[in-house]
Amino acid sequence: MASADSTHDPLLLLRQSIASGTPAVPTKTADASSATAVDLSLATANFLQFSSPQIALPLTIPTRFLSSEKPVDLRSIYFAWLKREVAIPEYNASATALNAELSGESGAGGQVQNLAFVERLDLITWLEGASEESEYIKSLASDTSSAAASAQVASGAVGGIVPVASGASGRQGKTIDPRLAEIYNGERRMGDRNSVLRGIKPTDFSHVRKLAGSFNARKAARPGAANLPSNPALPLNQKSVRRPDPIILLSPSASSLLRMSNIKSFLENGIYVPADGTSSTSSSSASILHISRVLPSIDAARPIRFIIVDTPEQFKPEYWSRVVAVFTTGQEWQFKSYKWQKATELFRHTLGVFVGWRGDHLPETVKGWGRGVLSTQVDKWHQGAGTASRWRDREVVEGIWKAVEDNMRNKGWRRDSGPAI
């Protein structure tokens, strides 16, 4: 059995185990070769066993994930991953219950840390492999040390080309002119092509590729255009900007036809199923969902990933600019916790979507909200009819996506950028 050391990063091991489909297993001891050592309860387990490579890490080991500038332990990270699909209140209640078990007689001790909504969303996105960057994850020490070593080579502190001493022979059998040898002595030591781009401190140049991509795309779109201006300099210290994920808000009302349990089937597959039916594609307790959709007028090459939530409880102020659609039942209490609590003001900033039964009257409140709300209807659900009869649902879904795309384009969403603020 291998032991944990600095070469095994807990976050990377957990991400690799998720990607390979071989989940990590909580154990009581570092040696999980016997069945008695395996314990599936985080309250009594002391280690997390990985199969590739074969290694067990203590659940108390700190990770590179930072919350309030402090490292979060592996037990809290693994707990957040296990509870990735539960609602925020259930996540908080589960954390409180687990902390009580940990401090009990048979508990392993310690406690799990409650991660904020934004931190948990960022962590889950990174662990799933949907993102290569995270503002809460600190860089590996090996990356920093290698970058620092390259910087030393570039600055001439170590390595590089040794200058020829004054009066020495540059090549065997040939004598270098003393004046030329003095010039050689004044030369700066240089690194190789892999180190010359490093400065005196570690610098990540990966953003250059992203910046160049936008220029190459424009050039490809205009094959007959003239060359770029003679000095197309970029602003100094420009940071790489990743297009944010747009957000869709659902109504938490029990009377809503579309809830967290059936919205994925509706928007991705174009088929309506009852929210409380057995054919629902998602758990009704899920607090976060992700769906992907290609919007040709914004980015025809890459699908745009949308985040779906039914409450803005953990929103940061800047998240409201990313809300591209709000599904509503016409009940104004839904907007009490929103940035814009009046419906008429809300739907001046984002698209409203009302989905009702075909043949039913449109609520008077929705009528009064005007053109800011898209009103659509789906066929009533009949038990036993099956999804084959739901062929008109796709037409409704396509109409909703067309309205979302138009709204996003008008708000300034582009291929490599979010809304214009």
Under the banding of pLDDT at 50, 70 and 90, the label for residue 203 is low
**Of 58, 50, 60, the residue nearest 15 (C-alpha):** 50
Query: Whole-angstrom Cα distance, residue 90 to residue 98?
Result: 12
pLDDT in tens, 30-66: 876 655 566 678 888 889 888 877 888 999 999 999 9
- Residue 147: other Cβ atoms inside 10 A: 17
Token pair of 371, please?
Answer: 């053109």
Q: In terms of C-beta density within 10 A (0-12 exposed, 13-18 middle, 19 or more buried), how is residue 6 classed?
A: exposed
* Cα dihedral 221, 223, 224, 230 sign: positive
Is residue 186 predicted with pLDDT exceeding 60? yes
What pLDDT does residue 171 have?
45
Whole-number pLDDT of residue 7: 61
pLDDT at 141: 64
| pLDDT value of position 187 | 75
Of 46, 75, 61, nearest in space to 6 by CA:
61
Report helix, strand or coil for 25.
strand
pLDDT at 228: 46
**pLDDT tens profile 342-394:** 999 999 999 999 999 999 999 999 999 988 999 999 998 887 666 677 888 99
Taking only the tens place, the pLDDT of each residue in 222-234 is 655 544 444 444 4
pLDDT above 70 (res 240): no
Determine whether domain 247-410 maps to CATH 3.40.50.11990.
yes
pLDDT value for 384 = 66
Residues 5-14 have a mean pLDDT of 77
Q: If you average pLDDT over residues 149-170, what whole number do you get?
A: 47
Q: What residue spans define the domains of the chain?
A: 10-127, 247-410
* Nearest CA among 206, 258, 207, 243 for reference residue 322: 243
Phi, psi of 97 (to 5 degrees): -65, -40
